Structure 1
Amino acid sequence: MNNNINSAKTRPVLNRRDFLFIMTSLAAVSPMTLLAASRQQPVIHYTDEPWKTLDAVFEHLFPAADGAPGARELRVISYMQTMLNAPDSDPDDLSFTSKGVGWLNDLSQQEYKKLFIDLDETHREQILRKIETSSAGERWLSFLLTHLLEALLSDPVYGSNPHGIGWDWLEHQSGYPLPTADTMYYKLHRRVQRNTKA
């Protein structure tokens, strides 16, 4: 992986926030309601790996801006933990997530003699740009961005988007009725399976 990672070239890209706004706006018009924890929950700061590094990655990818929530305010890590622990989740996803953090920190150490979380914004961007040049790194970042976009549009019952702050920012009207802890998508699947066996 490192051979491909080190061959990164700087190239102009669409502003990350504009890209995510466009993508989530498109997703918001989908008929599918994506994934209400307590509406009083503060931002959580993670101290254990891989969550500590992932928190820094998500905040770099989607920082808070004037009038717009960032990844921490959206509770992307909480959402990702919920999804990775859902009964229908792929057990390899958590391993892949952790491996990506390992790649990130290995490259950070190799390039700057620091862990990713200890890098400044410019060096973080350079490391992420190098990671994305390999197929595994690109898949890892895509996996993270998928969770970020889902967390932005998710119902709060899945652990993110408290008070619907992502919906408010996008001016998105959620579908009704909203799911409850008993009607989360993976619980409905089990309920349908039980009912069809009778």
Structure 2
Amino acid sequence: MSFFNNDYQTPDWLKAKLSRRAMLKAAAGVTATSAIPIVWSAEKSEALNQLKRQDPWLTLDAVLSHLLPQSESGPGAKDIQALAYLFNVVDEQPIDSEEKAFIFKGVGWLNGFSQSQLNSNFVVLNTEQKEQLLRKISGSQAGNNWINTLINYLYEAMLSPPSYGGNPDGIGWKWLNHQAGFPLPPKGKRFYEIPGKYQISIKNIATEDKRKA
């Protein structure tokens, strides 16, 4: 399969997600979405440093950085630690397993298309070539959905509390002149660090639900 498969249809999980976010945006009057709090730690940072040397994280890092490059007008994907946020979402949050698979499959489809067009993987292309390639895949339904999924996570990374992986030192809030709600969880008092609370790994929720069913 590829981004240009004529049989592709927007999956139910994405339709529900887009519908929910549209409702939240209308209700809140902002572009941010409600994100489930997630865990970030030194161990996770080290794990990601190892993983991003190869795909799928190598290419995802390059795509996110292209979609939101650093500029004089504001922070880029690396500044807001978008890859770290996405990694934490995929690693910990109870998001639909099909969404995780779609994010990763998109990397293979993108590099396959890049090879067919330019005989190179996406990460080694120059800025103009990356732009042209992403514009081409955005013309397909699957490609458009994949890019929009990553853009949504860029928004979340920029607007979530720093203790959960993205938005270090509130860089996204400062750029948008946004005053976050208080109190914010300090290190040692984040929800997953409270004794007796949230001891069940989020990773196991979907599996456990299937067993009960």
Q: Which contiguous aligned blocks of 4+ residues in structure 1 show a shift greater than 6 angstroms?
A: none
What letter corresponds to residue 171 of structure 2 in structure 1? I
Q: Contact between 1:50 and 1:98, CA under 8 Å: does it hold in 2? A: yes
Post-superposition shift, 1:94?
2.0
Aligned-residue Cα RMSD (Å) equals: 3.2
1:26 maps to which residue? 30
Deviations 1:81-126 (A, max 9, x none): 1111224222222211111111110111011101000111111011
Instruction: Give 1:74 shift.
Output: 0.7
Match for residue 184 of structure 2 among 159, 175, 178: 178
Aligned to 1:12: none
Cα distance in 2, alignment partners of residues 33 and 144 from structure 1 = 14
Matching of residue 147 in structure 1 with residue 153 in structure 2: yes
Q: 1:138 to 1:67 in 2, by over 3 A?
A: closer
Q: Distance in 2 between matches of 1:120 and 1:74?
A: 22
CA contact (8 A) 2:35 2:156 kept: no
Matching residue of 1:106: 112
- Unaligned stretches of 5+ in structure 2? 7-24, 201-213
AA at the equivalent of 1:27 = T
Contact 1:151 1:161 in 2 (8 A): yes
1:26–1:98 distance in 2 versus 1, CA, 3 Å: same
Which ranges of structure 1 fall in alignment gaps of 5 or more residues? 6-22, 191-198
* Selected match of 1:117 from 123, 139, 144: 123
Q: Using CA pairs under 8 Å that are at least 6 residues apart, name the structure with larger relative contact order, 1 or 2.
A: 1
Q: Note if 1:126 corresponds to 2:132.
A: yes
2:100 to 88, 94, 97: 94
Q: What is the match of residue 76 of structure 1?
A: 82
Report the CA distance shift for 1:91/1:33 in structure 2 as closer, same or farther (over 3 A): closer
- Residue 3 of structure 2 contacts residue 141 of structure 2 at CA under 8 Å; is this kept in 1? no
- On the 8 A contact 2:85/2:165 being kept in 1, the answer is yes
Q: Secondary structure at the match of 1:94?
A: helix
Equivalent residues of 2:102, 2:146 under 8 A apart: yes
In structure 2, the CA distance between the partners of 1:154 and 1:2, relative to structure 1 (3 Å rule), is closer
With the length of structure 2 as denominator, give the TM-score of the two structures. 0.67
Once the two structures are TM-superposed, the CA of residue 61 in structure 1 deviates from its matched residue by 0.6
Aligned residues: 166
- Taking the aligned partners of 1:144 and 1:2, their CA distance within structure 2 comes to 15
1:169 maps to which of 169, 172, 175:
175
Shift of 1:179: 3.6
User: Aligned partners of 2:35, 2:64: CA distance in 1, in Å?
Assistant: 23
Q: Secondary structure at the match of 2:183?
A: coil
Q: Does the 8 Å CA contact 1:33/1:175 hold for their aligned counterparts?
A: no
Q: For residues 99 and 73 of structure 1, what CA distance do their matches in structure 2 show?
A: 26
Determine if contact 1:34/1:153 at 8 Å carries over to the other structure.
no
Tell me whether 1:63 sits opposite 2:69 in the alignment: yes
User: Letter of the aligned partner of 1:138 in structure 2?
Assistant: N
